[in-house]
Amino acid sequence: MPVLETLGGALFGAVLQVLFQKLDYDKLRDYIRVTKLDGWQLTELKRRLTDIDAVIDDAEQKQFTNSLVRNWLDEVREALYDAEDLLEQMDYELSKNQLKPEFQSSSSKVSSFKSKMKELIDELESLLNQKIVQDFKISSGVGSGLANNVSGKRNESTSMVAEEVIYGRDEDKEIILKWLTSESNNHNHLSILSIVGMGGMGKTTLAQHVYNHSIIEDKFAIKACLCF
């Protein structure tokens, strides 16, 4: 049966996207240059984040069956929030300094940024070096809609339809609408689609959108909705 995955992708995707935006921020580079912070660090940080981004989708998929992966993701989440924190602080310092005639940050601030940055890079590096990461599949695209298609048939006589697993959020609704209008090629079987994901990921919202879509009125004689 088709399984639509809408899990943490939104969460990690959003955090990573924000971080990438900040890392590309030209002024942040200026800040680093003027304050003699190590520009290399910024590049290194970005490289680590790109690596994390490449495996995060698969890790999120695997967290349900593997508690080690779940722990790993928890640590990654912490590190990402730390990264966001740090970049925000640098952003703030920058905006503060722009108001002054001379562009100068206190040297204690700068050195604290420097050591935090190093800590962060080391942390991400060690997370990436964990053995578990080798098992993750690499998905393409950085900060994009990340859509992979993995399908496998379940060898159960009772299963209603073939299973299809879809990652990514961008195409979710479209996939559901397509599924709604598709004619089942098996007469005796009910067509069931499951949206699987952690709480608060927008599964219900997605289902509501679909339920209220005009396609339902057009294509179905009756509809019903139950929440648990």
Partner 1 sequence: MLLKPVCVSEEFDVFMLTRAILESFRKETDNSRNLNMVQGRLKEKLNGMKFFLVLDDVWNEHRDQWKSLQTPLKYGAKGSKILITTRINKVASIM
Nearest approach in angstroms of CB 121 to partner 1 is 34
Tell me which stretch binds partner 1 (CB under 8 A): 73-81, 95-103, 113-121, 173-181. 173-181
Q: Work out whether 132 is an interface residue with partner 1 (CB under 8 A).
A: no
Kindly report the length of the chain: 228
- Helices 172-181 and 203-211: angle between axes, nearest 10 degrees: 40
User: Which CB sits closer to partner 1, 135 or 217?
Assistant: 217
Q: Name the residue among 53, 50, 71, 52 with its Cα closest to residue 62.
A: 71
219: tokens are 């294509």
CA distances from 121 to 103, 183, 204 (A): 26, 51, 37
Q: Does 191 bind partner 1 (CB under 8 A)?
A: yes
- Listing DSSP states for 111-171 in one string gives HHHHHHHHHHHHHHHHHHHSGGGGGSPP---SSS----EEE-----SS-SS--EEE--STT
Distance CA 76, CA 72 (A): 6
Provide the minimum distance between the beta carbon of 67 and partner 1 in the complex, in angstroms, as a whole number. Answer: 14
CB of 198 to partner 1, least distance (A): 6
Which of 44, 65, 101, 170: binder of partner 1 (CB under 8 A)?
Answer: 65
Quick check: 160 binds partner 1 (CB under 8 A)? yes
Does 13 participate in binding partner 1 (rule CB under 8 A)?
A: no
**With CB under 8 A, what is the number of residues at the site for partner 1?**
45
203 binds partner 1 (CB under 8 A): yes
Residues contributing to the site for partner 1 (CB under 8 A):
1, 3, 64-65, 154, 158, 160, 163, 176, 179-180, 183-184, 187-188, 190-199, 203-204, 206-208, 210-212, 216-217, 219-228
